[in-house]
Amino acid sequence: MTDTVFLTDYAWPDDSVEREIVESAGMRLINGPAAPLPASGIEAMVREHLPSAILTCWAPVSAEAIAASSRLKIVARLGVGLDNIAVQAATARGVRVTNVPDYCVEEVSDHAVGFALAWTRGLVFFDREVRAGRWAPADARLRRLGELTCGLIGFGRIARATARKLGAFGCRLLTHDPFLREPVAGVQAVELDELLMQSDIVIVHAPLTEGTRRLINRERIATMRRGSLLINVSRGGIVDTGAVIEALQSGQLSAAALDVLESEPLVPDELLRQPGAMLTPHVAFSSDASLLELRRRAAEEVVRVLRGEAPRNPCNLSAV
Protein backbone atom coordinates (compact mmCIF):
# COMPACT_ATOMS: atom_id res chain seq x y z
CA MET A 1 0.00 0.00 0.00
CA THR A 2 1.31 3.45 -0.92
CA ASP A 3 2.14 5.64 2.05
CA THR A 4 0.12 8.85 2.32
CA VAL A 5 1.70 12.03 3.67
CA PHE A 6 -0.67 14.70 4.98
CA LEU A 7 0.59 18.30 4.73
CA THR A 8 -1.72 20.12 7.13
CA ASP A 9 -0.91 23.72 6.13
CA TYR A 10 1.92 25.86 4.76
CA ALA A 11 3.16 29.45 5.11
CA TRP A 12 4.42 29.78 1.52
CA PRO A 13 2.78 30.00 -1.92
CA ASP A 14 2.47 26.28 -2.77
CA ASP A 15 3.41 22.71 -1.85
CA SER A 16 5.80 22.12 -4.75
CA VAL A 17 8.94 21.35 -2.72
CA GLU A 18 7.18 18.93 -0.39
CA ARG A 19 5.30 17.29 -3.25
CA GLU A 20 8.40 16.72 -5.36
CA ILE A 21 10.27 15.04 -2.50
CA VAL A 22 7.35 12.90 -1.34
CA GLU A 23 6.17 11.82 -4.79
CA SER A 24 9.68 11.12 -6.07
CA ALA A 25 9.92 8.62 -3.19
CA GLY A 26 6.82 6.83 -4.50
CA MET A 27 4.49 8.22 -1.84
CA ARG A 28 1.30 10.26 -2.08
CA LEU A 29 0.92 13.82 -0.76
CA ILE A 30 -2.42 15.27 0.22
CA ASN A 31 -2.72 18.70 1.76
CA GLY A 32 -5.08 20.86 3.71
CA PRO A 33 -5.55 24.57 2.97
CA ALA A 34 -2.60 26.93 3.29
CA ALA A 35 -4.19 28.61 6.33
CA PRO A 36 -4.29 26.14 9.22
CA LEU A 37 -7.55 24.39 10.02
CA PRO A 38 -8.68 24.10 13.64
CA ALA A 39 -7.95 20.86 15.48
CA SER A 40 -11.31 19.37 14.51
CA GLY A 41 -10.61 19.96 10.82
CA ILE A 42 -7.22 18.28 11.03
CA GLU A 43 -8.73 15.34 12.89
CA ALA A 44 -11.40 14.93 10.20
CA MET A 45 -8.79 14.91 7.42
CA VAL A 46 -6.68 12.34 9.25
CA ARG A 47 -9.72 10.08 9.66
CA GLU A 48 -10.50 10.47 5.96
CA HIS A 49 -7.02 9.84 4.53
CA LEU A 50 -5.35 7.66 7.21
CA PRO A 51 -1.88 9.07 6.57
CA SER A 52 1.38 7.34 7.45
CA ALA A 53 2.94 10.76 8.08
CA ILE A 54 1.81 14.24 9.01
CA LEU A 55 3.79 17.32 7.97
CA THR A 56 2.57 20.35 9.91
CA CYS A 57 3.46 24.03 9.95
CA TRP A 58 1.06 25.89 12.31
CA ALA A 59 -1.98 23.57 12.43
CA PRO A 60 -2.70 21.78 15.72
CA VAL A 61 -2.00 18.05 15.64
CA SER A 62 -3.99 16.84 18.62
CA ALA A 63 -3.98 13.54 20.47
CA GLU A 64 -7.23 12.76 18.64
CA ALA A 65 -5.59 13.36 15.26
CA ILE A 66 -2.66 11.14 16.18
CA ALA A 67 -5.00 8.35 17.29
CA ALA A 68 -7.16 8.66 14.16
CA SER A 69 -4.70 6.87 11.85
CA SER A 70 -3.41 3.45 12.81
CA ARG A 71 -0.83 3.81 10.02
CA LEU A 72 0.76 6.95 11.44
CA LYS A 73 4.51 6.68 11.97
CA ILE A 74 5.74 10.27 12.09
CA VAL A 75 4.58 13.82 12.78
CA ALA A 76 7.15 16.20 11.31
CA ARG A 77 7.11 19.87 12.27
CA LEU A 78 7.91 22.38 9.55
CA GLY A 79 9.68 24.51 12.12
CA VAL A 80 11.40 24.35 15.49
CA GLY A 81 8.80 24.53 18.27
CA LEU A 82 6.51 21.61 19.06
CA ASP A 83 3.75 23.43 20.96
CA ASN A 84 1.17 22.65 18.25
CA ILE A 85 1.81 18.87 18.44
CA ALA A 86 0.56 16.48 21.13
CA VAL A 87 4.02 15.02 21.62
CA GLN A 88 3.13 12.86 24.63
CA ALA A 89 0.24 11.27 22.75
CA ALA A 90 2.52 10.56 19.80
CA THR A 91 5.15 9.02 22.06
CA ALA A 92 2.57 6.80 23.75
CA ARG A 93 1.57 5.41 20.36
CA GLY A 94 5.14 4.93 19.14
CA VAL A 95 4.85 7.78 16.61
CA ARG A 96 8.02 9.72 15.87
CA VAL A 97 8.00 13.50 16.26
CA THR A 98 10.68 15.49 14.43
CA ASN A 99 11.51 19.11 13.76
CA VAL A 100 14.07 21.18 11.86
CA PRO A 101 15.89 22.83 14.75
CA ASP A 102 18.49 24.96 13.00
CA TYR A 103 17.16 26.11 9.62
CA CYS A 104 16.47 29.74 10.60
CA VAL A 105 19.19 30.55 13.12
CA GLU A 106 20.56 33.44 11.09
CA GLU A 107 17.15 34.81 10.12
CA VAL A 108 15.64 34.95 13.62
CA SER A 109 18.79 36.36 15.16
CA ASP A 110 18.97 38.96 12.35
CA HIS A 111 15.36 39.88 13.11
CA ALA A 112 16.12 40.37 16.79
CA VAL A 113 19.15 42.54 16.04
CA GLY A 114 17.13 44.43 13.43
CA PHE A 115 14.51 45.28 16.05
CA ALA A 116 17.25 46.48 18.40
CA LEU A 117 18.73 48.72 15.71
CA ALA A 118 15.30 50.00 14.70
CA TRP A 119 14.80 51.12 18.32
CA THR A 120 18.23 52.61 18.99
CA ARG A 121 18.23 54.47 15.65
CA GLY A 122 14.53 55.39 15.62
CA LEU A 123 14.00 53.81 12.21
CA VAL A 124 10.36 52.83 12.61
CA PHE A 125 9.41 55.86 14.69
CA PHE A 126 10.90 58.44 12.33
CA ASP A 127 9.61 56.69 9.24
CA ARG A 128 6.11 57.09 10.67
CA GLU A 129 6.81 60.71 11.61
CA VAL A 130 8.07 61.70 8.16
CA ARG A 131 5.16 59.97 6.43
CA ALA A 132 2.81 61.93 8.71
CA GLY A 133 4.38 65.18 7.52
CA ARG A 134 6.61 65.83 10.53
CA TRP A 135 10.31 66.59 9.99
CA ALA A 136 11.74 67.05 13.48
CA PRO A 137 15.33 65.86 13.88
CA ALA A 138 15.57 67.76 17.15
CA ASP A 139 13.10 65.29 18.64
CA ALA A 140 15.60 62.44 18.27
CA ARG A 141 16.31 60.54 21.48
CA LEU A 142 18.62 57.93 19.99
CA ARG A 143 21.10 55.61 21.67
CA ARG A 144 24.41 53.92 20.87
CA LEU A 145 23.75 50.19 20.74
CA GLY A 146 27.28 49.29 21.80
CA GLU A 147 26.84 51.06 25.15
CA LEU A 148 23.73 49.10 26.11
CA THR A 149 23.17 45.93 28.10
CA CYS A 150 21.23 43.24 26.26
CA GLY A 151 19.62 40.35 28.12
CA LEU A 152 18.81 37.10 26.31
CA ILE A 153 16.14 34.87 27.85
CA GLY A 154 17.11 31.40 26.66
CA PHE A 155 20.49 30.57 25.20
CA GLY A 156 20.04 28.00 22.47
CA ARG A 157 21.26 28.12 18.89
CA ILE A 158 19.42 31.29 17.92
CA ALA A 159 20.24 33.20 21.09
CA ARG A 160 23.92 32.34 20.64
CA ALA A 161 23.81 33.78 17.12
CA THR A 162 22.10 36.91 18.46
CA ALA A 163 24.80 37.23 21.13
CA ARG A 164 27.52 36.90 18.51
CA LYS A 165 25.99 39.67 16.41
CA LEU A 166 25.26 42.02 19.32
CA GLY A 167 28.75 41.36 20.67
CA ALA A 168 30.15 42.77 17.45
CA PHE A 169 28.51 46.09 18.34
CA GLY A 170 30.17 46.00 21.76
CA CYS A 171 27.06 45.34 23.85
CA ARG A 172 27.28 43.95 27.36
CA LEU A 173 25.53 40.59 27.19
CA LEU A 174 23.54 38.76 29.87
CA THR A 175 21.61 35.53 29.61
CA HIS A 176 19.25 33.45 31.69
CA ASP A 177 18.84 29.79 30.76
CA PRO A 178 18.27 27.08 33.38
CA PHE A 179 19.80 24.51 31.00
CA LEU A 180 23.06 26.38 30.45
CA ARG A 181 25.79 24.23 31.96
CA GLU A 182 29.05 25.85 30.84
CA PRO A 183 30.24 29.45 30.80
CA VAL A 184 30.19 31.27 27.47
CA ALA A 185 32.89 33.78 26.61
CA GLY A 186 31.57 37.33 26.57
CA VAL A 187 28.17 36.42 28.04
CA GLN A 188 27.30 36.58 31.75
CA ALA A 189 24.78 34.02 33.04
CA VAL A 190 22.44 35.53 35.65
CA GLU A 191 19.09 34.89 37.31
CA LEU A 192 16.04 36.12 35.41
CA ASP A 193 15.24 38.93 37.86
CA GLU A 194 18.79 40.26 37.61
CA LEU A 195 18.69 40.12 33.80
CA LEU A 196 15.44 42.10 33.71
CA MET A 197 16.72 44.74 36.14
CA GLN A 198 20.04 45.28 34.38
CA SER A 199 19.09 45.13 30.69
CA ASP A 200 18.25 48.02 28.37
CA ILE A 201 17.05 45.48 25.80
CA VAL A 202 15.45 42.15 26.74
CA ILE A 203 15.17 39.55 23.98
CA VAL A 204 13.02 36.43 24.36
CA HIS A 205 14.62 33.37 22.74
CA ALA A 206 12.93 30.67 24.85
CA PRO A 207 10.65 27.80 23.77
CA LEU A 208 7.00 27.84 24.79
CA THR A 209 6.39 25.32 27.57
CA GLU A 210 4.11 25.26 30.59
CA GLY A 211 7.03 26.70 32.53
CA THR A 212 7.55 29.63 30.15
CA ARG A 213 3.92 30.47 29.35
CA ARG A 214 3.45 34.16 30.24
CA LEU A 215 6.94 34.18 31.71
CA ILE A 216 7.06 37.87 30.85
CA ASN A 217 4.07 39.18 32.76
CA ARG A 218 3.02 42.36 34.54
CA GLU A 219 5.16 41.68 37.61
CA ARG A 220 8.32 40.92 35.64
CA ILE A 221 7.91 43.86 33.27
CA ALA A 222 7.65 46.08 36.36
CA THR A 223 11.19 45.02 37.35
CA MET A 224 12.67 46.02 33.98
CA ARG A 225 14.53 49.29 33.50
CA ARG A 226 12.06 52.08 32.82
CA GLY A 227 12.08 52.99 29.14
CA SER A 228 13.66 49.73 28.02
CA LEU A 229 12.88 47.62 24.94
CA LEU A 230 11.27 44.17 24.97
CA ILE A 231 11.80 41.95 21.90
CA ASN A 232 9.98 38.66 21.32
CA VAL A 233 11.00 36.55 18.31
CA SER A 234 10.18 33.22 19.94
CA ARG A 235 6.56 32.31 20.82
CA GLY A 236 3.70 34.67 21.54
CA GLY A 237 2.48 32.77 24.59
CA ILE A 238 5.65 33.60 26.53
CA VAL A 239 4.69 37.29 26.76
CA ASP A 240 1.49 38.66 28.31
CA THR A 241 0.25 41.05 25.62
CA GLY A 242 -2.04 42.94 27.99
CA ALA A 243 0.86 43.60 30.33
CA VAL A 244 2.94 44.90 27.42
CA ILE A 245 0.18 47.30 26.39
CA GLU A 246 -0.05 48.64 29.95
CA ALA A 247 3.73 49.06 30.12
CA LEU A 248 3.79 50.96 26.81
CA GLN A 249 0.99 53.23 28.01
CA SER A 250 2.77 53.99 31.29
CA GLY A 251 6.24 54.41 29.76
CA GLN A 252 7.67 51.48 31.70
CA LEU A 253 8.53 50.13 28.24
CA SER A 254 9.49 52.68 25.63
CA ALA A 255 9.01 50.05 22.94
CA ALA A 256 8.01 46.45 22.36
CA ALA A 257 9.15 44.66 19.21
CA LEU A 258 6.96 41.62 18.66
CA ASP A 259 7.14 39.14 15.81
CA VAL A 260 4.76 36.80 17.66
CA LEU A 261 1.61 37.30 19.71
CA GLU A 262 -0.55 35.21 22.02
CA SER A 263 -3.57 35.97 19.86
CA GLU A 264 -2.00 35.81 16.41
CA PRO A 265 -3.14 36.38 13.74
CA LEU A 266 -5.45 38.69 15.70
CA VAL A 267 -3.73 41.86 16.89
CA PRO A 268 -5.36 43.79 19.74
CA ASP A 269 -6.49 47.25 18.66
CA GLU A 270 -4.95 48.77 21.78
CA LEU A 271 -1.55 47.38 20.79
CA LEU A 272 -1.88 48.84 17.31
CA ARG A 273 -2.48 52.26 18.86
CA GLN A 274 0.81 52.22 20.78
CA PRO A 275 3.51 54.27 19.00
CA GLY A 276 6.16 52.18 20.73
CA ALA A 277 4.90 48.92 19.26
CA MET A 278 6.91 47.45 16.38
CA LEU A 279 5.02 44.50 14.94
CA THR A 280 5.82 41.89 12.28
CA PRO A 281 3.55 38.93 11.35
CA HIS A 282 5.57 35.93 12.63
CA VAL A 283 8.10 36.15 9.82
CA ALA A 284 11.40 36.19 11.74
CA PHE A 285 12.11 32.65 10.49
CA SER A 286 11.53 33.50 6.86
CA SER A 287 13.93 34.04 3.96
CA ASP A 288 14.30 32.49 0.54
CA ALA A 289 17.13 30.30 1.80
CA SER A 290 15.57 29.31 5.14
CA LEU A 291 12.20 28.33 3.68
CA LEU A 292 13.75 26.12 1.02
CA GLU A 293 15.93 24.42 3.62
CA LEU A 294 13.02 23.98 6.04
CA ARG A 295 10.68 22.45 3.49
CA ARG A 296 13.28 20.15 1.99
CA ARG A 297 14.60 18.86 5.31
CA ALA A 298 11.18 18.28 6.87
CA ALA A 299 9.93 16.36 3.82
CA GLU A 300 13.13 14.32 3.62
CA GLU A 301 12.73 13.40 7.29
CA VAL A 302 9.27 11.99 6.55
CA VAL A 303 10.56 9.93 3.62
CA ARG A 304 13.45 8.68 5.74
CA VAL A 305 11.19 7.41 8.55
CA LEU A 306 8.64 5.85 6.21
CA ARG A 307 11.47 3.92 4.57
CA GLY A 308 12.35 2.49 7.97
CA GLU A 309 15.39 4.68 8.59
CA ALA A 310 16.14 6.67 11.74
CA PRO A 311 15.25 10.38 11.69
CA ARG A 312 18.04 12.91 11.90
CA ASN A 313 16.21 15.23 14.30
CA PRO A 314 14.12 13.06 16.66
CA CYS A 315 12.22 14.92 19.37
CA ASN A 316 10.81 11.93 21.26
CA LEU A 317 13.39 9.16 21.32
CA SER A 318 11.22 7.15 23.71
CA ALA A 319 8.81 6.55 20.80
CA VAL A 320 11.31 4.11 19.28
Catalytically annotated residues: 235, 264, 282
Per-residue confidence (pLDDT) for residue 320, from 0 to 100: 62
Kindly write down the DSSP assignment for every residue of 144-199, as one continuous string: -GGGSEEEEE--SHHHHHHHHHHHHHT-EEEEE-TT--S-BTTEEE--HHHHHHH-
**Which helix (H) or strand (E) covers residue 296, if one does?**
helix 288-306
Cα separation, 40 vs 34, in Å, equals 16
State the DSSP code for 94: T
Angle at Cα 52 formed by Cα 47 and Cα 55, nearest 5°? 90
**Low pLDDT (below 70) residues in the chain:** 319-320
Q: What is the pTM of this model?
A: 0.90
204: CB partners within 8 A, 6+ apart: 153, 154, 215, 216, 230, 231, 232, 233, 234, 238, 239
The residues with which 77 forms a beta bridge, in sequence order, are 56
Q: Please report the domains of the chain, with CATH numbers, ordered by start residue.
A: 4-103+288-319 (3.40.50.720), 105-279 (3.40.50.720)
Cα separation, 315 vs 101, in Å, equals 10
Query: pLDDT tens digits, residue range 112-144?
Result: 999 999 999 999 999 999 999 999 999 899 999
Neighbours of 191 (CB within 10 A): 11
Neighbours of 308 (CB within 10 A): 7
Cross-sheet strand order for the sheet of 4-7 = 28-31, 4-7, 53-56, 74-77, 96-98
Per-residue confidence (pLDDT) for residue 319, from 0 to 100: 63
228 by Cβ neighbours in 10 Å (0-12 / 13-18 / 19+) ranks as buried
